[in-house]
Copies of this chain bind each other. A is one copy, B any other.
Amino acid sequence: MTPAPAAPASAAARPAQLTVLDLTATSIDLTRQICDMESVSGNETALADAIVAALAGLDHLEIIRDGDTVVARTNLGRAQRVVIAGHIDTVPLNDNLPTRYETIDGTEYLWGRGTVDMKAGVAVQLKLAAELTDPGVDVTWMWYDHEEVSDDLNGLGRLARNRPDLFAGDFAILGEPTRSQVEGGCNGNLRVEIRTFGLRSHSARSWVGENAIHKAAPILNILAGYEAREVEVEGLVYREGLNAVGITGGVAGNIIPDECMVHVNYRFAPSRSGDEAVAHLRELFAGYDLTVVDRAEGARPGLDAPLAREFLAAVGGVATPKYGWTDVARFSALGVPAVNYGPGDPLKAHADDERVAVAEITACEKGLRDWLSASVR
C-alpha cells in the first residue's frame, strides 16, 4: 500500500500501520489520498479502517460496520431520508498508481487507478458526511467493498441481506462516475459460459479426434456479427452490448482439444428482465451448452420520484441513461428510487489512463452540498 500523502499532525498518535485520512483537505486532495491507498477488490480493509478512524468522534454520525463496508448516518428526525453510497474497491492496477496531476488541453486532471471509478465520488461523500452536521434531510452514507467482482461478493448486496433496515429511504444517490451529471437507472448485466465439446486425440492423427476449438467458430461468428440494440425506457435510450470477455481451450501442443469455453457478457436494457436476457442468449446460442455464471437485473431510470425531480432541478443539466450496471439496481429492487451522480468520465473507468477532471470533483461536491444544505424538508 502506498502511504497517503499529507497526513495531519495527529498521525503520530495513531497506530503506525493505520493510514490517516484528512477530511478537512479539499475533495480533490482527499481523492488523491484514498486513491494512493490501493484497494483492489478483496484488499479494502485498510481503507475501511481509515474511513472509520476518520469519522470516529463526529457526534452527528452513527457508525455501523459490516465487513469492509462502513455506514454512517444522521438521526435528526427529518421527514425524509436520502441514502448516498459509493464503493471503495477498484479493478486491478496496471502501472497506474501512485496518482499524479496532469494537464491536457488546458484541463487539469488527477490521473491513476480509482480516480474515476469511483474514489473521487467517495472523497466528496466522505468530506460532506463529516462537514454537513445539519442537513435538510437525514442522510445514510454507505461505503462498500467488492463492487468490481462477482455479484455474490458485493458488499452492498451483503449489507442488504444482513441489515435491510439500513436501506430505508425516500431516494438514493450512487456516486458512480457520470461527469457530475444525473444518470438514470442502469443496464442489466449477465455473464454466461458457452462450451463446445469434442474428442481428444494425438494431433498427428487429428482425423481420429474432434476439435472443440474449431467448433467454437460459429459462437465467435454470432458474437462478431451481433448488432446490439438501443432501447428507449421512460424517455432515456439505453445501449446494449454482447461480447466475449474470455475464451479458453486446449490441453497440450500435440493434443486435439476436447473442450472450449467462451465467456460471454451481455449488458441489457432495463426494459428486459434477467430471465428474458437469459432466454435471449439461449435462443441466440441454441444447441450450445450454456451456463449462467453471474446475473444482475437492470434498473429503470426512477426519475419520476419527487426527490429525484427536486435533485435534478437543484444540480441542473439533463438526465441521461446509465449504460453500465450499477448498484442503483439494488435500491431499485428494494423500492427506493435511485440515480447515479459522481465525478469522472465513465469511458475512463477501468482504463489504463483512468483520470478525472478535477473541476468535476468540485462540481459534484457543490451540487451535493447545496442540495443537502437546503432548508429542512
- A residues apposed to B, CB below 8 Å: 91-92, 148, 150, 187, 189, 191, 200-208, 211, 213-217, 220-221, 223-224, 228, 239, 241, 243-257, 260, 262-263, 265, 267, 294, 323-325, 346-347, 349-352
Q: Given A204-B323, A204-B325, A351-B200, verify A247-B245 contact (CB < 8 Å).
A: no
* CB of A350 to closest CB in B, whole Å: 5
Q: Given A207-B239, A220-B220, A224-B214, verify A346-B244 contact (CB < 8 Å).
A: no
The answer to whether A201 touches B351, judged by C-beta atoms less than 8 angstroms apart, is: yes
- With beta carbons under 8 angstroms apart, the residue of B148, B247, B323 that contacts A249 is B247
* Chain B neighbourhood of A254, CB < 8 A: 91, 148, 189, 245, 265, 350
* Chain B neighbourhood of A262, CB < 8 A: 213
- With beta carbons under 8 angstroms apart, the residue of B200, B204, B257, B265 that contacts A241 is B204
Please, which residue of chain B has its CB at the minimum distance from the CB of A348?
Answer: B202
- With beta carbons under 8 angstroms apart, the residue of B204, B220, B247, B350 that contacts A324 is B204
Q: Given A217-B220, A220-B214, A221-B217, verify A346-B243 contact (CB < 8 Å).
A: no
* Chain B neighbourhood of A347, CB < 8 A: 201-202, 205, 208
* Chain B neighbourhood of A228, CB < 8 A: 206-207
Q: Given A202-B350, A204-B325, A351-B201, verify A213-B244 contact (CB < 8 Å).
A: yes
Please, which residue of chain B has its CB at the minimum distance from the CB of A322?
Answer: B204
The answer to whether B214 touches A243, judged by C-beta atoms less than 8 angstroms apart, is: yes
Compute how far the CA of A231 lies from the CA of B228 in the bound complex, rounded to whole angstroms. 46
The answer to whether B239 touches A256, judged by C-beta atoms less than 8 angstroms apart, is: no
* Chain B neighbourhood of A253, CB < 8 A: 150, 191, 245-246, 263, 265, 294
Q: Given A253-B191, A253-B263, verify A247-B213 contact (CB < 8 Å).
A: yes
Compute how far the CA of A340 lies from the CA of B285 in the bound complex, rounded to whole angstroms. 46
The answer to whether B245 touches A257, judged by C-beta atoms less than 8 angstroms apart, is: yes
Q: A91-B254, A211-B243 are in contact. List 6 more A-B contacts (CB 8 A).
A: A92-B252, A189-B254, A202-B324, A205-B241, A246-B250, A253-B294
- With beta carbons under 8 angstroms apart, the residue of B91, B189, B260, B265 that contacts A247 is B260
Please, which residue of chain B has its CB at the minimum distance from the CB of A205?
Answer: B323
Compute how far the CA of A349 lies from the CA of B254 in the bound complex, rounded to whole angstroms. 11
Compute how far the CA of A349 lies from the CA of B256 in the bound complex, rounded to whole angstroms. 12
Can you name 7 A-B pairs with beta carbons within 8 Å?
A: A200-B352, A201-B347, A206-B228, A214-B220, A244-B257, A246-B250, A247-B260
The answer to whether A265 touches B201, judged by C-beta atoms less than 8 angstroms apart, is: no
The answer to whether A203 touches B243, judged by C-beta atoms less than 8 angstroms apart, is: yes
Compute how far the CA of A260 lies from the CA of B249 in the bound complex, rounded to whole angstroms. 12
Compute how far the CA of A186 lies from the CA of B260 in the bound complex, rounded to whole angstroms. 29
The answer to whether A250 touches B243, judged by C-beta atoms less than 8 angstroms apart, is: no
Compute how far the CA of A220 lies from the CA of B228 in the bound complex, rounded to whole angstroms. 23
* Chain B neighbourhood of A207, CB < 8 A: 228, 239, 241
Compute how far the CA of A3 lies from the CA of B215 in the bound complex, rounded to whole angstroms. 42
Q: Give me the 8 closest cross-chain CB pairs, A-B, nearest first.
A: A246-B250, A204-B324, A217-B220, A206-B241, A213-B244, A214-B224, A202-B350, A217-B224
